[in-house]
Each structure stands twice: as C-alpha cells, then as structure tokens.
Structure 1
C-alpha cells in the first residue's frame, strides 16, 4: 500500500512543491489547507485534502478526529504551515510555536503520531552569529535569533527536542527561492523597472536554496528514516549581496539599472515607517522591523556537511541555474 503523507501549509510556496514531491514518489498525499486557502497550485487529481484550522485548537481537534474516523492517520507529516509576516511578536508565537505545539499534542491525544514528523524551520533561528570571521554557522552553535520570526521558530524547535522519543526531523533552510515565490520576485520586478537596491555597504555573504533542492532534502530524510536530527539546507555555495540581482539582470537581457546602496540606518527608519503605515490600514508590510534585521544580517553561511554525509544530499540547482528557471517561469506566467 502507498505510504500516506500529510503536508500542512500545502497551499503555500514551499508546501505546494512538497505536495508535488510526494506525488512524484508515489505516495498518497494529503494537502493540509484552510477552507479559504487557494488551491491554484494543487490541481493534480491525485491530491486529497484535509481542512485544518491551526488558529483554533478545539476546531483542529475535531477536524483531526473526523479524519481519523474516516481515513485513519498518516505515516509521515511535513509541518510546513506557519507565518512569516505578522503585526506583532505575539502573532509569530501563536502562528508558529503554539500552533505547532497544539498540533502535536492533539495528534498524541488522538493516537495519530506519525513515523516521522518533519518540521520546516529556518536558518533565522541562529540569528547574526559568526559575523566577525564570516565562518559557517554550525549545528552545535548556540542560537541567537534577533527576529520575532526566528524566535518563534526556535521555540518550536525547543519544544520538539523536549519530547521524549518523538520522531522529529528539523530542516533549517536558508533563503528559499523558486517559481511561485513572491518576496524574491520583488527584486526581479524592481530590476525590470531599472532599479536595483542593496542593503548596507559592509560585506554580506548570502546563501540560497532552490525550492526543489529543499524538497529533495526532505524526502531523503523520509526515505532514510532519519529521526531526532536537524539540518541546515542550502545549495552549498556562498554568494555576494549582488550576485542574485546580477544573475537576474543577465537573464532579463542586462537592462540598464540604477543601483542604490541604502545605509542601514536609513533602511531601519524606512522599515519602521512602512510597518506603521501598513498597521494603520490593518495590513502587514513586506518591509518591516523584522525584515530589516534579516536584511541587516551580514553572514548567512551554514554548514550542510551533515546533510551531505548522512542523507547523500547534493544540490542540483546552483544559483545561476535556479535564477534562469525562475525568470523563465515569471515570463511564462506573465509576472514579468
């Protein structure tokens, strides 16, 4: 029989690719979505849907209990649901930490714990460390998150570690890009409008991972039945702050651009103003104090040696290939 897998946050950028990854591996894939979630990238007729509301623990328990009665549980769960933009620190804690904790507690209560529980965390849990020598962040380093997002992800990780014999696997990807992703798309859109923007004058080492490589890493862990481990994920390379935009320009035919280097003190002020302006209209700004701290961070190197040695991971998409893919997709979809 096919192994059953649940992907939460399936309507999102990373989640939708994780769903496709399960289908490619001949699994019975359940997409965990909210009732209001878009299913634009979940059109394959083999996908089955589980409506899950992580904002209401009582409702979630009812939904999971109903699913168990009708379909049983899942062999694997990839918990990708979460929040990346919020109005307050409390909202990050609710959307990332508490939602994850309640989910696991309910699964345990209903005797629905899977063989593996894969948690999609973030490199942001470590914060701006090793910035003096620009050496790679190591798994034994002490996390020092300086963003509300990073702190909420760290709290989720600490909770997983505290559970005796719980079969978790944690992935901490660096900047994830690919088709369907909208934050990095803003850079391509800006370059199409002949403007390029760089945050700060000081050296910045950046790392990336193409979404398909992240998917590959996750399913390698499932196939190898790894438990109680955490891995950084990148393409294994390190880039300068200009590399991404330079590659975008190349794929777009090298349009003329005006490059602005924004001093960090000015970026901080702009982030605050954008955030306050958005709050007046009940919205969340892409540029905000949390995002400023991410843009300010100078060192995003991370050691993926354990991922390579233990899982046999090898990235298939260096940045040049990945950028070529996303620009072609943006054009095909009419985004550019």
Structure 2
C-alpha cells in the first residue's frame, strides 16, 4: 500500500457509516486524519488515538466560519478534504436541499474566503443523481448520460455537483457510488433483520438490475484518487457486477443459516401507498423514516447498472468484495455486535 506520509486530510461526516471507514482508510495510509464531527456526534467508531478532531457545524455558516478560522490559526489547513457529510433521510423534501446543497455550498464559500481551499476536494455524491434512466434497455449508466433525478435526495446531490463543477479554482473530484453496504450500515441491516424474522419483501414484479459496493471498496476508490491527485473527474463506483432483486436477500438468508422465509412481492402501487403513509406518520412523530415517498422512488427504479470502466482504467480500481464475500463479512459483524 502506498504511504502518503504526513498528508493532512479532513473527512467530514466522520461519525457516519462511510465517514468512519474513510477515517480508518486514511490512517492505514499514514495520513494525518482529522475527523470532522458535530459536538453531539457519536465517536463510537472513532476511537483510534491517532485521530484528530475538528468540530464543524454545517447548519450555521457563521459558526462554521469561526470554527475554521480557529482551526487555521492553530493547525493551518488541509491538503485534501473528503466531504462525506450530508443527509439521506429527512422529514421534509426541502431539508435535502438544505442539508446537502446549501450546507456544502456554505462550507466551500467559507474555505474560499479563508484561503483554505485544499489541493483536492473530494465530494461524495450518489448514483441517484441520474435517476431512472435506461429502464427499457438496461444499459449501464455512464458519464455521457443526462441526469434525470426523480428524488429530492438525488436532486440535492445533483445541484451540489453542478455548483462544485462551476468553480474554476476548486480542485474537485466526485464519486457516485451505488448502494453502499457493510458493517455499521443500518438501512441494509433492516433487510437482514426482516429476513431473520422470516419475512422478505420484493419491490415490484418487473425485472430489476441492482448494483452494490462494499464500503471498503468505496474507500479504496476514493484514496486511489487522493494518491494520484486526480481532479476534474467524476466516477461511478460499484463492485463491477449486476445482481437480480433477490440475490442480496438470498445471500443474507444463507449467512443466517437458511431460516424459513415468507417472500412477498409487493406491487409498486401498494408500496407507494405504504411509503406515503409511513412518511406521514414520520412527520407526525417528528422522526425521519427509512420508508417514505422518496425511498419508494429508489425502490421503484429498475436499472442500477453503472459504468466503472473509467475508475478501473484511470485509477487502477480493483474491487475486492463481490457481493457474496461482502454479505458474509457484514452479517458476521452484525452477529458479533449483537445486532442480529
């Protein structure tokens, strides 16, 4: 593994699922890693004594500027920033724009004002920025395709991408992963939990091509770009394979010892109604729900193929975790931690 010496790197959203693995990946590569967290953030997966912390409040641009000013005075800036902070579940659709687009824009504007623009700004976007395209021919989504996001989450990510790409003096690189899974992840865990309770729900009857990426393969891809100092590029990330709608749940079932299972294929119309009800209940309870109208559109999408050839050819990316291996490791972790 290439050692990058004392490169100073900031990982925002470091207390989250992907962020915590990015912190570990930087430490493994010999970097000075700063974990960007909120004061209230859990540090459960940030226990390594080599981690340095930077408290950053993306909800308040004035406070954020004071925090960054203080950091610059005491520690100078960073060579690279991996911006992983953002929102994936919200009570109101407008909150996606606030938590993803506006928070990122304010962050970059402050970095520019304080002369703290790094040599490389890595933005973690999503395959969802392209929306439901190639739904008839099932061709891989590629960089020449026109984004057509149909979710508030995807729209907010696309707006952020457009802003970042419009800045002449920001050395950006963008990653658009497909479904990311692995230890510590909670949304796919709900599927494993449901299967352990003998129920599996499939969305719709029509063919659905799914793609996935194990979290450490995503980390590998990002650090390849950091090591090669790539800028001005956007990459899709998956494990390079395509799976049917049942493959993931079948692998989970295998790792759980083949429990008896009731598999219910839910018509999309019914799923839409259930998602709407779940979203309204979440609003009444003032707590975001995993199932909501935005999530329904993601579950409805039939084609999640994406072209990772540029990532392989330009950066030398070689995914180490096909789905079978990744699910095995994930379920093993869930069991070890008492989640299952």
TM-score range, shorter chain: over 0.9
Instruction: Find the aligned partners of 1:85 and 1:196 in 2 and give their Cα distance.
Output: 22
Instruction: Find the aligned partners of 1:166 and 1:111 in 2 and give their Cα distance.
Output: 11
The one of 288, 293, 298 equivalent to 2:302 is 298
What whole-Å deviation, never above 9, does each CA across 1:111-159 have from its counterpart, x for those lacking one?
Answer: 0000000000000000000001001001010000000000000000000
RMSD: 0.6
Task: Tell me the SS of whatever aligns to 2:339.
Answer: coil
Instruction: Find the aligned partners of 2:114 and 2:43 in 1 and give their Cα distance.
Output: 28
Instruction: Find the aligned partners of 1:285 and 1:80 in 2 and give their Cα distance.
Output: 21
Shift of 1:77: 0.2
The one of 163, 187, 191 equivalent to 1:187 is 191
Instruction: Find the aligned partners of 1:283 and 1:44 in 2 and give their Cα distance.
Output: 31
8 Å contact kept, 2:210–2:244: yes
Determine if the alignment matches structure 1 residue 69 to structure 2 residue 73: yes
Shift of 1:89: 2.0
Partner of 1:233: 237
Ranges in structure 2 where 5+ consecutive residues have no aligned partner: none
Partner of 1:279: 283
Instruction: Find the aligned partners of 2:91 and 2:193 in 1 and give their Cα distance.
Output: 25
> After alignment, is 12-21 or 274-283 more displaced?
274-283
What whole-Å deviation, never above 9, does each CA across 1:261-298 have from its counterpart, x for those lacking one?
Answer: 00000000000001101111111111000000000000
Partner of 1:105: 109
Instruction: Find the aligned partners of 1:305 and 1:3 in 2 and give their Cα distance.
Output: 28
Instruction: Find the aligned partners of 1:89 and 1:158 in 2 and give their Cα distance.
Output: 19
Shift of 1:165: 3.5
Ranges in structure 1 where 5+ consecutive residues have no aligned partner: none
Task: Tell me the SS of whatever aligns to 2:33.
Answer: strand
Partner of 1:255: 259
TM-score normalised to structure 1 length: 0.99
Instruction: Find the aligned partners of 1:34 and 1:192 in 2 and give their Cα distance.
Output: 34
Instruction: Find the aligned partners of 1:301 and 1:13 in 2 and give their Cα distance.
Output: 23
Give the alignment of 1:13-162 within 5 angstroms. Answer: 13-162=17-166
Give the alignment of 1:188-227 within 5 angstroms. Answer: 188-227=192-231
Determine if the alignment matches structure 1 residue 328 to structure 2 residue 323: no
Instruction: Find the aligned partners of 1:323 and 1:234 in 2 and give their Cα distance.
Output: 14
